[in-house]
Structures are given as structure tokens and as C-alpha cells.
Amino acid sequence: MITADERAAIRESFARLLTDQCSEEDVRRTMETDAGYDPALWQAMANMGILGLIVAPEHGGIGAGPVEIEMVMEEAGARLLAGPLLSSAVLAAGLISASDDADAKARLLPAIASGERKATVAFTGDKGCWTAEGVAVEARGEGDAVRLHGAASFVTAAHVADILLVVASTSGGLAVFEVDAKTSGVGIERLESWDRTQRLARIGFDGVPARPLEGAGEAAIEHALDLARVALAGEQAGAARRIFDITVEYLKTRVQFGRPIGGFQAIKHMAADLLIEVESATSAARAAAQAIEDDAPDRQVLVNLAAFACADAFSEVAATAIQMHGGIAFTWEHPAHLYLRRARADAQLFGSSDLYRERYVAALENAA
């Protein structure tokens, strides 16, 4: 159990680390590298416990939960942190932790928490819809072994992953399989992505031998996805707040017609409307994290709400921020477009806002 003081200390030290090692300049440099992440920063995050935040203490982690993950991701989002934090420390660690596979936990979680190995989760196929219908890898029993056939796409940080957790269809529904990324028959093809701070890949599986993750059926997959959803919501809330703050600062200093442009109602009113979006995103992400933590009755309502509300808020704030800045933000050198790129990628990852609005109504119908 993490106390409020410990939580605040984690937030503060992580924010300080990012201020030191994840400036805009650092992000720009990192996004042009092949790896797409900064190994020194990665190690520093491991040393701080961030990579093992949700890993149980007996496996070398901190044993925190969704509330702390959401909080950390707000900071990561604010700084546009590039790299496999979400893939490895949240999604993969969450999926392994949600399974009943004692051997996998003992073998993989300590290495994920220490940053020594990186994992990612392959879920959807080329449809890109993160629902059961989207899964395009099939697991077939062939002799003693299970082999994977098919393809997964939109896989985050696959090019640097050591471990692939592959969601595949079986005769008994969805299941998860562990594959070493170096196994022959695994074809990782990097996809060029508009958001250069997040690497995406398509992975072909040509009869690849795989180890089933025990007790990782649809419930465990959903649990890990929920964790990833609130983590992403936190990232969106934190990033939206940051680009909003950058914009408000600019409104106070940019002078036209003899006065700061923030004095013009046409601009001021846009800022007021965006503040509602920023605060709402923060509230939604935190409430969803708390609901998962408490396994509250309205958990599904709140997770689905956060999933679309935070995506839409970040998209709206990032897009409007460029308009409010004017010409300066149309230049490559200005950071606003980096936030727009991240916003547009985040808005699709794990499912669209339309999907989550639909699920939100369905959850409300169930609750009524």
C-alpha cells in the first residue's frame, strides 16, 4: 500500500528526472534515433522504480497500482516522454501480473522492473480496433508445441522489445502467448508513424513456437487493457495541461495591435473553453484510476468515460493550441505540433473515441 506522502515523493522525483533528462531538445533528439528512446533515461527510470511501479514487491517492483500509474503518466505525457514505458511497464507488466502464471511472473517481471528486458503486447491486426474481432493471430496446437500464425499491427515499441506477449485466438477464445522477439519466423516491420515519439510496428508470425501465458484469458486481457487505458488517459491529461500552459504563457507575451493577444476576447474565450477540457481530462483520468483501484461498481462507466474524454480533450487542446499561437506554431521548431502528433496517435491507440462512447452508453445502460 502506497501512502500519500510516498505517492507525492514518486511524482516529484519523476518530474525532476524528466525536467533534467527529457527536455524538448532531448525529445527531439531521441525521436530521430533508431531506438526511439533514451537508454540513460530508461535506466534512471528503472533505478527510481518507475518501471516496476505496478510490479509486486516479491518480483522486484514497488507494488503500486492504477492511481500511481496514472499519476506518473501525467508527468510522462507533459514531457512527451518517448519510449516503451506504456508498452513494457504498464501493458506487458499488467498482463503478466493479471495472469496466473507463477513461472512467467518470476522470470519476466524482475527483468521488466529493472529495465533489463523490455516487453510489449501485440493485440490487434490490421483492422486496428483492439476488440476480439480485431485479433488476427491464430494459435494452433502442432504436435507438442503451440505455433502462432498471422499478423499483429500497431504494436508499440516492438522494435526494441525482447519479449512479445501476443494475443491470439484459440479454439477456447482469446489467449496470450509469450514469444522471444528474436525467434525465427517473427517478422518485425517498423511502420513509419506520424508521431515520431512513438514507434509502431507490424509483426508477422509464420508458425512461431510460443509459450502460453497461463490463466491469461479474456478477463486478464481486459484487466491489463483497463490499466493501459487509464495510463493513456493520464498521459493525455498531463500532455493537454502542458501544451495548454505553454499556450497561455504565449498569450501573455505575444503582442499585436499594441497589446498581448490574450487580452482579445476571441483568444481569451478559446482559452477559457480549453481550461474546462484540461480540468475535465484530469478529473476523468484520476477518477477512472481510483475506480479500478477500488474495483468500484461504476468502474466500467468511468474507464470508458476517461478513454474518450481524455483522448478528445487532448486532441482538442493540442489542435486549438496551434491556432491560438498563429504562425509560430506552424513551424517545425515550435513544440505545439509534437503535442498534436502525440494527441492524434493517442486518440487511436487501444481503440477510438467512438468505440469508447459506445461502451460508455452500454455501461450506463447496465448500471441503470
Partner 1 sequence: MSNDQIDVRSEVRAWLAEHWDADARRPRSGGSTSDFIAKVFEAGWAAPSWPEQWWGRGLGKEDASAVISEFRKQRAPGAGQDRTNITANTVMNFGSDALKRKIVPEFLSGRVHQCLLYSEPGAGSDLAAIRTRAERDGSDYVINGQKIWTSGAMSADYGLLIARTDWDVPKHDGISFFLIEMRQPGIEVRPINQITGDSHFNEVFLDNARVPAENMVGAEGQGWKVLQTALAVERLVMGEGAGERRQGSAKSNVVSLIDIARDAGKLGDPVARQEIAQAMAYRQLNALNMMRAKAEMAAGSSSPIMSLGKLAMSRILHEDARVMTRLLGATSMLDGADHLRAADVNYRTANAYMTSIGGGTDQIQRNIIGERVLGLPRETEVDRNLPFRESRAVTG
Judged by the rule CB under 8 A, the positions of this chain that interact with partner 1 are 248, 251-252, 259-260, 262-263, 265, 268-269, 271-273, 275-276, 279-280, 282-284, 286-287, 301, 305, 308-309, 354, 357-358, 360-361, 364-365, 368
Q: Which residue's CB is nearer to partner 1, number 170 or number 352?
A: 352
- Rounded to whole angstroms, the Cα distance separating 174 from 215 reads 11
Q: Please report how close the Cβ of residue 11 comes to partner 1 at its closest, in angstroms.
A: 15
Would you say 171 or 253 has its CB closer to partner 1? 253
**Nearer residue to partner 1 within complex by CB, 37 or 244:** 244
Residues 146/107/87/178 CA torsion (nearest 10 deg): 0
Taking alpha carbons only, the member of 71, 49, 345, 344 closest to residue 234 is 71
Half-sphere exposure at residue 20, Cβ-oriented, CA atoms within 13 angstroms: 10
> What is the per-residue DSSP string for 178-215?
EEETTSTTEEEEEEP-SSTTS-EEEEEEEEEEEEE-TT
Whichever of 188 and 275 has its CB closer to partner 1, that residue is 275
Q: 123 or 244, CB closer to partner 1? A: 244
Distance separating alpha carbons of residues 153 and 318, to the nearest angstrom: 26
Torsion (CA) 186, 187, 192, 196 in degrees, nearest 10: 30
- Give the integer Cα–Cα distance in Å for 347 and 222: 19
CB of 251 to partner 1, least distance (A): 6
CB of 39 to partner 1, least distance (A): 37
Q: Which three cell numbers stand for residue 39?
A: 537508454
Q: Which residue has the cell 517481471?
A: 109
Give the largest Cα separation in the chain, rounded. 79
Shortest gap between Cβ of 308 and partner 1 (angstroms)?
7
Distance in Å, CB of 224 to partner 1, minimum: 24
The CB-of-352 to partner 1 minimum distance in angstroms stands at: 11
One-character DSSP codes across 317-362: HHHHHHHHHGGGGGSTTSTHHHHHHHHHHHTTTTS-HHHHHHHHHH
Q: Between 1 and 368, name the residue whose CB sits nearer to partner 1.
A: 368
β-pairing, 163-170 vs 119-122, is parallel
Least distance (Å) from partner 1 to the CB of residue 276?
Answer: 5
Cβ closest to partner 1, residue 106 vs residue 362: 362
C-alpha Rg value of the chain to the nearest Å: 21
Task: Specify the residue, 131 or 331, whose C-beta has the smaller distance to partner 1.
Answer: 131
Size (the chain), residues: 368
State in angstroms the smallest separation of the CB of 77 from partner 1.
Answer: 18
- Angle at Cα 359 formed by Cα 219 and Cα 292, nearest 5°? 50
As measured in angstroms, the least distance from the Cβ of 231 to partner 1 is 18
Of residues 180 and 279, the one with the C-beta less far from partner 1: 279
CA distances in angstroms from 87 to 157, 172, 176, 251, listed in the order given: 7, 26, 15, 36
